[in-house]
Structure 1
Amino acid sequence: MGEAVEHPTAWNWVVVVVIVAGVASFATDAVAMWRKHLARETKPDHTSVALVDVPASDVESAIASTTDRISAIKALREQHRDLGLKDAADLVDAALDVRGA
């Protein structure tokens, strides 16, 4: 950058602008990443619903209200917002197995 100050040509000023823009971009990205990191640490832990807390009637109504397994899982998760995907799938599969047996 000393060259641009000593010999102020158009090319030297372009080099200075590119360097300054690069440093500013790096600083902006670093601050954004740091804020994202801090926000991740302060988020509350989401507790999921225990499987025993989901009534069998809710599982049966989710299955009865739909035509396929995936829709039943979605319907069950809409009724119980904190229910995880795998837990909902396990509940629906268990109910379907009982029906089929």
Structure 2
Amino acid sequence: MGQPESKGEEAAAIERVANAAREVQSASEALEARFKAENDGTERTLPLARLTAAIGELQAARDALDELLARKRASLMQCSPSARRRGSVSSTTLGNVLLLTGESSKC
């Protein structure tokens, strides 16, 4: 996978997490509004189901992003013999540095 394609995949994964987080917030606010309203006998199941679904999507989005970044870090570690020799740089640290600097994951 090339660097531009990889960055697009990362951006899409981050956007998915952000959208899911906004939906959780919105669903939470809707549920809170239902509970703050006077006891008018309205059903609270739908807002609760919406919140539950939003939380599930947020977790799935975060898991997908974590896996994407883990794959990229593993790829970067395979391509960085100096980091493996030193042994003092964790894969997370090296991966974050290379991700932030935009270095290619190609060996």
Relative contact order, CA 8 A, sep 6+: which one is greater? 2
Coarse TM-score class (shorter-chain normalised): 0.3 to 0.5
Q: What TM-score do the two structures reach when normalised by structure 2?
A: 0.34
Larger radius of gyration: 1
